[in-house]
Chain A
Amino acid sequence: MKIAITALACAAIFTACTKDNSGSGAGLATMEMAISHQASGKAMVLNGDVNTPNGEQIRYTVFKYYISNLTLLNDRGEAQPSAAAYFLIDESDGNSKILPFNIPEGNYSAIRFLLGVDSARNVSGVQEGALDPAKGMFWTWNTGYIMAKMEGKSINSPAPLQNVTYHVGGFKQSNSVLKTITLSFGRNVTVKANQQLALQVKGDADKWWTGAHTIRIANLPVVMEAGADAMKLADNYANMFTLQAVEVK
């Protein structure tokens, strides 16, 4: 009893201090985007052996990337106010793959987001939360976020310790790897106040290796700076997402 009441009081404190950003009179709904990663046609398992679509062996150890500037498009294709939130998606952290935020009630036709961290946040000093440089997704010697990180081991890698290391970044116009992703619902979806729009999105690691460029571990085991190779990887992985289900609860 004691504990329960104390917990309740604590919860009250947090709730009381959290600012309600909904502001406007429009009814507030919620959205949840759940991402699941795949490799080789199955659910991704870190430290498990799979093959890339090009037939090279790989054991993924790290699979992380930033998503930001999430916004919904309404039934006329217009962008709705987006959440000023930055998400670091990490295959090794189940919670990180569920992206929650508040949306106004309305009719929606698509979701749009940036794969990466917008350039503004790359040029305004030390950030906090998911963007804290301590998260290890940041280049300290050549300022900028690592937008996406894939690491693993492969018998096909000529790099030391058979490493595969892709740290993909670059936010300036000449070397930008920032990709805007739009996933259409294929229909208009009405979300009323207090309802939840639930999206299930698949992120397919296989797409990193094929598409606009064929990436072979034997030729390119390491990318750790902005530039042409990073841009190739980004051209490919921009296609890794597919929308699997849209549901209003």
Chain B
Amino acid sequence: MLRPANYIIPALLLLLLACQKQEVANGGQPEPVAFTVPAGWPAPAYDFAANPLTKQGIALGRKLFYDGLLSKDGQFPCASCHQQPAAFGTFDHDLSHGFNNSHTLRNAPPLQNLAWHREFHHDGGINHLDLQPLAPITAPNEMAETIDNVLNKLRNDPAYPGLFKAAFGSTDISTKRMTQALSQFMLTMVSADSKYDRVKRGAATFTLPEQLGYDIFQQKCGSCHKEPLFTDLSYRNAGLPMDNVLRDAGRMRITRNPADSLKFKVPSLRNVMVSRYYGHDGRFFDVLNVFDHYQSGVQKSGTLDPLLQNGISLSNFERGQLLAFLLTLTDDEFLKNKSLAAPQ
């Protein structure tokens, strides 16, 4: 018969190991990755201390972002609506497609420079980047899953437990870890290397039309599409009449405050020329349609933005210059960055 001591000593050793594992036994410590704030930009809103970027965390988030496993039928990864060539918006679509031939309520917003945003969605209903993925994952007209199902699929996958261990120190797969990994990857989607940025750094110069367009932009657009993010992150009614089918009241859906009726978050103009359609519901096919709207389509209402009471006059001459400037906001380094593309 074996004596109890024969068990207890190994058990005690195991105990010591179990307690030290996280500090010592992790030869594959996650490798920290620094987040670079472009020169002249404000401090990020995201709390990196609560979710430090690591090489392994970003890699896990990248795999999750491109994995259909997060959706009910496998067809709708995050990347199905958030496509890199469209600055992580949906290329050439007004509304996006979701599970079972459904459509989304709104145009998928491009994902860029998210570290500077405090609220997400066109209506700002989500107050933390880590929480954002839970909305499309569980929306019946998007990925149509439940959080528990997704976590179980990840736990039963041959690859994911090891990737979670590499990123977070153990094979535990939880809502928090999954969403923090997604955040880590999405935080690396920084667009700050367009021609505009190079001009600001003194590494390039605008052509004459681009410079004239920049002057017009600063005069007529820049108070809402504020540099350097090209959005002031506020919610405004830009005079788009409510669509009779979508019946989307915008920010008021969140706040229930009639003063917020028809207000939507000001979109960034970075990469605007590759991220059509425009407007919260993608009703504008082309930037020229947007110019037309501001020129003559702004609908008056009690919540119309004060800056738009008389629309924005834009002569044909000005439109040409403005287009030339907007093209300088296209960031090819970002749009073609291989580390943001689907993992091989």
Contacts and interface: CB of A to CB of B under 8 A. Distances in A.
A127 to B, nearest CB: 7
A132 B15 contact: no
A142 B148 contact: no
Contact of B19 (A9, A16, A125, A140): A16
A141 B19 contact: no
A42 B4 CA distance: 52
A134 B175 contact: yes
A46 to B, nearest CB: 21
Contact of A12 (B15, B127, B180): B15
B176 A126 contact: yes
Interface in A129-148: 132-134, 138, 140-143
Given A13-B18, A133-B147, A175-B256, A140 B131 contact: yes
A226 B138 CA distance: 19
Interface stretch (B6-14, B274-282, B291-299): B6-14
B256 A227 contact: yes
A89 B206 CA distance: 63
B130 interface: yes
Of B11, B137, B151, chain A has the most CB atoms within 10 Å of the CB of B11
A85 B264 CA distance: 37
Contacts of B151: 134
Contacts of A2: 2, 7
Interface in A1-35: 2, 5-6, 8-10, 12-13, 16-17
Given A125-B50, A141-B125, 9 more contacts: A12-B11, A126-B128, A126-B179, A132-B176, A133-B175, A134-B146, A140-B138, A142-B254, A143-B127
Interface of A: 2, 5-6, 8-10, 12-13, 16-17, 122-128, 132-134, 138, 140-143, 174-175, 225-227
14 contacts: A5-B8, A6-B11, A9-B11, A12-B12, A16-B15, A17-B15, A124-B50, A125-B47, A125-B176, A126-B131, A128-B175, A128-B176, A132-B175, A142-B253
